[in-house]
A = this chain, B = another copy of it.
Amino acid sequence: MSDRNIISFENIKIACKSCSLVTLCLPMGLEPDDMDRLDRIIKRSRPLHRGDHLFRESDKFQCLYIVKTGSVKTYAPSEDGGEQVLGFHLPGELIGLDAIENATHNCSAKVLETSAICEIPFNHLEELSTSMPSLQHQMYRLLSREISQDENMLTLLGKNNAEERLAAFLMSLSGRFKRRGFSPYDFYLSMSRHEIGNYLGLAVETVSRLFTRFQEEGLLEVERKHIQLIDLERLAQVARRTHSDRGRIQST
């Protein structure tokens, strides 16, 4: 836990300004000085492992979390042991914004694979944003974006059928991977079919059948967690298809 060892976890604790995520993470667009001030309140924990929790529903709200590497799912547990998956979070994405209001977490956050996480004590962040208009602005933007995303998801669940939901999900992942410098065509899913189905309001079996169908239709290749998107254009068409133009198959 010191600098005794060069190959220590300290090495992953690089400052925001040298972090590859800086262009899409919380410090995005801050001046170097401001970034340093923010940097000082951010804690970087040692890697968490599959199944570890960042927080659980009804925990006291202390920190926001940012995925640095790996992935995290957030979910609302129900009394009967079930859950609703609320989101999957990739590097650079902020987690815990829904807890500010009543100072308690409304959902749980569980690590899907070995992940490095940045931790930001919210009271410090809020204090800092008081004296840093650009940070305040960034916070408003990120909170607002979260709302937009949830609204998109509401539309997806309210209006789109199974096929469209899965296609939209894959397109979303693809785009997010791309922005992070990963391949938008070839990636591994860190979540199970069950979790995908839960997130999209579908049964596992439906998700499984759709993957098979998409493969048969030449949209993608799938082998367990490994996804290769073959025809991004057509997949996008399936994803944005609404009610009125179901069934139409467009050629590219």
A residues touching B (Cβ–Cβ < 8 Å)?
76, 78-82, 84, 86, 97-102, 106-107, 126, 129-130, 133, 136-137, 139-148, 150-151, 153-155, 157-159, 198-201, 242-245
Contact = CB atoms under 8 A, between A and B. Distances in A.
Count of identical protomers in the assembly: 2
B84 A144 contact: no
12 contacts: A76-B151, A78-B242, A78-B243, A97-B147, A98-B144, A99-B144, A100-B143, A101-B148, A107-B151, A126-B133, A130-B130, A157-B201
Contacts of A142: 101
A52 to B, nearest CB: 22
Nearest 9 CB-CB pairs, A to B? A100-B144, A150-B150, A143-B143, A158-B201, A80-B244, A157-B157, A101-B144, A84-B155, A101-B145
Interface residues of chain A: helix, strand, loop or mixed (majority)? helix
A136 B144 contact: no
B78 A158 contact: no
A80 B242 contact: yes
Contacts of A97: 143-144, 147
Nearest to A241: B80
A98 B142 CA distance: 10
A86 B198 CA distance: 21
A157 B159 contact: no
A165 to B, nearest CB: 10
